[in-house]
Amino acid sequence: MEGSASAELCHSRNEHKPLTCDLEVARSPKRAPRAYVTRAASFSAAHVLHSPKLTEKENKELYGKCNNPNGHGHNYKVEVTVFGDIDPTTGMVINLTDLQCYIDRAVMDVLDHKNVDLDVPYFRDGAVSTAENIAVFIWHQLKAYIHDLLYEVKIYETDKNIVVYRGD
């Protein structure tokens, strides 16, 4: 009986208090609501982990098989997150079609099916092509398009190797 009395009590409480949403409050806060929006993309690229500041022996010890002079490749996943006000007219922080276009220009056109160390000047000029540096590179590429909305770049080099960069 206790179970049914408890159920009756719950029903009687809910009968008099329907769930509602005050749309006027939701639509006119003191500050526009803000949201994070993330778009993901995948690209394939090759690289060699090798620092010109280290000796051949130091490079081999530090990077192991990833220092193979013939290189190796990854199927990277990149997640680009923006943060900003939700526009009251469009209901969006950013148009996802535009965000995809920026990712295509800043990431895909530059890195997809490339040898990062040979085809990308930033790395050819001496930056070690670690996942950390690739995330920094993508951040700077996207800043040209997204400006103040860019919040985070997350790179999955493998399922187990993930780097997050927030412009710090």
Active-site residue set: 66, 113, 157
Distance of alpha carbon 116 from alpha carbon 137, whole angstroms: 11
Determine contact, residues 141/149, Cβ cutoff 8 Å: no
* Rounded to 5°, angle at Cα 67 from 140 and 79: 30
The CB density around residue 35, as the number of other CB atoms within 10 Å, is: 14
Determine contact, residues 67/117, Cβ cutoff 8 Å: no
Distance of alpha carbon 122 from alpha carbon 129, whole angstroms: 9
